[in-house]
Copies of this chain bind each other. A is one copy, B any other.
Amino acid sequence: MPTNLSASELARLEDLSNSKRTYSTGDYLYRTGDCFLSLHAIRSGSVKTRVLHEDGREQLTSFLMAGEIIGLDAISTDFHTCEAVAMEPCEVCELPFAQMEELSREIPSLQRHLHKIMSREIVRDRGIMLLLGSMRAEERLATFLLNLSQQNAALGMISTQLRLKMSRLEIGSYLGLKLETISRAFSRFQEEGLLQVKARYIEILDLPRLRILAVKS
């Protein structure tokens, strides 16, 4: 997945990531407190991560798709500080981190790539902090949908047709809202002609207006 590597460098990286595992819906890739050995590269399927509060409340912190690297939070403490759950059948490669570090000492472009991945994670989290801290319900949902739309586009799929892998409850947990609020916002968007909502199938009818909503309501 890093770009501009030579064939032999690429081969060494492949070699490192040969242990591919499959997970069924609901399986944990890791749990809070598990000790950290490997990053996980999602090859197919999708995964959610969540942090748990002592009293049982939880916060979803990301929805991840094929192509993403997951588990970076654990580097700092050598154990996982959140948990990752498969949302559908997944194929995941394990990338032993000690070997990744070793290899990235030898291959500058891999090192750079690793740094970018970590930094991107920080940027993404900051964006969600902005969302959680200063946007209202409909703005949050609009932003969320636009992100999904962009992801679709990046994977070469139709950007206005979304097939959600997560429930209203999960969307709510991610956006800091209750599931009823999510449901009402969907209904409202439909009433206003922004979306066509059929359970988890969403069609974006008015992308420009959705963008305006996401930026400022």
Where the two chains meet, the residues of A that have a C-beta atom closer than 8 Å to any C-beta of B are 51, 53-55, 57-59, 61, 72-77, 81-82, 101, 104-106, 108, 111-112, 115-123, 125-130, 132-134, 173-176, 215-216
Residues of B within 8 A of A116 (CB): 75-76
Q: How far is the CA of A54 from the CA of B105 in the complex (A)?
A: 39
A73 to B133, Cβ gap below 8 A?
no
* Closest Cβ neighbor of A52 among chain B residues: B130
What is the minimal beta-carbon distance from A202 to any residue of chain B, in angstroms?
Answer: 22
B122 to A121, Cβ gap below 8 A?
yes
A57 to B134, Cβ gap below 8 A?
yes
A130 to B59, Cβ gap below 8 A?
yes
Known A126-B73, A130-B51, A132-B129: A115·B118 in contact at CB below 8 Å: yes
A53 to B122, Cβ gap below 8 A?
no
Residues of B within 8 A of A76 (CB): 116-117, 119-120, 122-123
A119 to B55, Cβ gap below 8 A?
no
* Closest Cβ neighbor of A36 among chain B residues: B119
What is the minimal beta-carbon distance from A54 to any residue of chain B, in angstroms?
Answer: 5
B176 to A132, Cβ gap below 8 A?
yes
